[in-house]
Structure 1
């Protein structure tokens, strides 16, 4: 059984077999490098150890200077090979550190779909970090940005709207696209309320009842509809010209009637929220307004 000295130069290992040891960079102490453990030490001549201190076994003693028992099978152990840039392996012959994620950062190449390291990548291959939520499947099909979605009550379909002027229906069981509706205009927003799906497009709001197949077109908007909200049986829509239009739902006949036109914003209304008997609106004119939604 041979004994060899191990000296560490950053993330390199130099072995001296017999004879006096050669000069090495001065080590401030025999501590393991904290940054190396985190997988991000980039110092070529790090003054700390780049390897875990081995635990003594069978009565063997470990000397801080680097004397270790040599494993005769170390040369055939692939785990002892250091990989530059992919986490450092243990510097002691025949020992390797288990792979682990070093930080909660999402891999940019994973986002682009080009990461070649797979599960061995040191960064996260996930859009989020959670132990209770996992990705089922990506829904691919829209050619431009998705601007809204709705899951109507009693339906097994998810509705998504996009700037590519289409609404897609997705089967919630299989994740497959079950249908495409081309509206001929960019979709600025989409919301769901009960069995209804509301879609904001230029100069109109489309309203669909998924239970009885009612298809309505609510006129009145001038320009793109950017935001919608529902409250107290009323539908509110934020318009490109700065107005907020309101429609009252009439159960008899399953229809909507114009109820109000709220002005005050100077530019497009891009967000609406109903709460505490008030309507709150945010606009591109850098203001937020509070409206009495109903008496």
Structure 2
């Protein structure tokens, strides 16, 4: 593996501005403006109250108070099991609770709890907006009181398609459609190296000290501790997804197959183990959980494979478009699709998976990622093709924030010390943003 050092790199920071309303709000409304409470209302002539509602008499319980009590989710939070499993474990109540604490749920389909800006200011993105705080569009890269934006990392010439944080390394690895992998120093944020691959990076994962990079017709495998550099042949077309389980590396291929390799420790090499055939189109998402391999495809289906026998034991057909991403939460499987839905699956007494809850995003969903916040509360990240990432409390699916981006985000990665990363997947320039969970929820500023 030849790494070209990058001797000079300049960090840039994004200054996000919070707009505030300059017009007198309509005081006759019975609803208090959420953005006014957060100190960032930028709506001209906001139709909601810019003052608190009168307190109810003693002994009375307001609807808001009752709702806040009912929506609580008491758990031990999200626990990443180990580096061999890309699953999350959650101390979760009965399956019927998924989405049930979410107000606005109609026939199993939920609506957002909070009203967020529909559009970020294009001139703010370009740094040329002349309206400043009076602009009616959003002048911030996010709306949330539990995260903060630290810095962007620029250098990739095309979209970012994957992250890796190998064990024992102080480097963040990022793969891109510009046919390169970049190494970033986790302490300084500087680009420490560049690896040219000669093919677009379709996906990237890590397993212990190993990094696996999927490119057209091959998988690159690097051991960051032993400096082992391998190329795994066999794929026909782009490698779109990878997962590790039962000492096997699985890869979803453009031709619809799933290839598996077994690691031979004594010889420090990977040996072809199997080819799983069943999908009619490209396999674009993979995840391992509960001794099962789950695969999502452009043929709109999810297949369930026994990880020991490598036989398909069930085909799920509830999605009506490409199954873009899969996530395991203990006994639950979450899937998302370009059909604008996120589905929660649970095993019945017969062992087959059935949908227990459907969340409608209203936009095609590109990627799912689970992590926990600074208070150990489980949070689902749902990236949509309107260039936003929605943050949801689980299991209620109550929306707690949004991240806005210049382009679609298909790469999201949890990091150490409360950090996480997002990467633009499309566009001429790929950008990585470094985020951090806030240890304490920011206080709402008092009214002027």
Equivalent residue in structure 2 for 1:222, among 225, 228, 236: 236
For residues 256 and 113 of structure 1, the distance between their equivalents in structure 2, rounded to whole angstroms, comes to 49
How far 1:191 sits from its partner (Å)? 0.7
2: CA distance between counterparts of 1:120 and 1:212?
Answer: 56
Deviations 1:48-79 (A, max 9, x none): 9xx99xxxxxxxxxxxxxxxxxxxxxxxxxxx
Q: How does 1:167-182 map to 2 (within 5 A)?
A: 167-182=181-196
SS of equivalent to 1:270 = strand
Q: SS of 1:137's equivalent?
A: strand
Give the match for residue 248 of structure 2: 234
Per-residue deviation at 1:40?
A: 3.1
Shift of 1:182: 0.8
Matched, 1:107 2:90: no
TM-score by length of 2: 0.43
In 1, the alpha carbon distance for the partners of 2:195 and 2:269 equals: 22
**Shift in Å at residue 252 of structure 1?**
1.3
SS at match of 1:241: coil
Cα separation, 2, equivalents of 1:241 and 1:170: 33
Q: Aligned partners of 1:120, 1:169: CA distance in 2, in Å?
A: 40
1:187 aligns with 2:201: yes
Quick one: distance in 2 between partners of 1:116 and 1:255? Answer: 58
When the two chains are superposed, the root-mean-square deviation of aligned CA atoms in Å is: 3.1
1:18 equivalent in structure 2: none
* 1:138 counterpart SS class: strand
Residue 382 of structure 2: aligned partner = none
Pair 1:291–1:121, CA change in 2 (3 A): same
- Count of equivalent residues: 212
Shift of 1:189: 0.6
* Structure 2 counterpart of 1:277: 291
Structure number with higher strand proportion: 2
Other-structure match for 1:130: 144
Write the distance in 2 (CA, Å) between the matches of 1:183 and 1:271: 22
Which of these residues, 27, 30, 44, is aligned with residue 40 of structure 1? 44
Unaligned runs of 5+ in 1: 1-10, 13-30, 43-47, 53-102
Measure how far apart 1:41 and its partner are: 2.9
Aligned partner of residue 147 in structure 2, secondary structure: coil
Q: Which runs of 5+ in 2 are unaligned?
A: 1-21, 52-114, 310-448
Q: Give the C-alpha shift of residue 266 in structure 1.
A: 1.2
Equivalent residue, structure 2, for 1:257: 271
The 1-side partners of 2:186 and 2:131 are apart by 31
Deviation of residue 221 (structure 1)? Answer: 0.5
Q: CA deviation at 1:120?
A: 6.8
* 1:116-138 CA distance string (max 9 Å, x none): 45567665543333333211110
| Distance (whole Å) between structure 2 residues aligned to residue 41 and residue 120 of structure 1 | 11
Contact 1:104 1:123 in 2 (8 A): no
Paired position in structure 1 for 2:400 = none
Is the CA contact 1:146–1:161 (under 8 Å) kept in the aligned structure 2? yes
Q: Tell me which of the two structures has the higher relative contact order, counting C-alpha pairs closer than 8 angstroms and 6 or more residues apart.
A: 2
Alignment partner, residue 169 of structure 2:
155
3-state SS, counterpart of residue 175 of structure 1: coil
Please give the alpha-carbon distance, in whole angstroms, between the structure 1 residues aligned to 2:282 and 2:168: 34
Say whether residues 1:205 and 2:219 are aligned partners.
yes
Matched ranges for 1:52-91 at <5 A: none
Tell whether 2:178 aligns with 1:164: yes
Q: Structure 1 136/117 Cα, relative in aligned 2: closer, same or farther at 3 Å?
A: farther
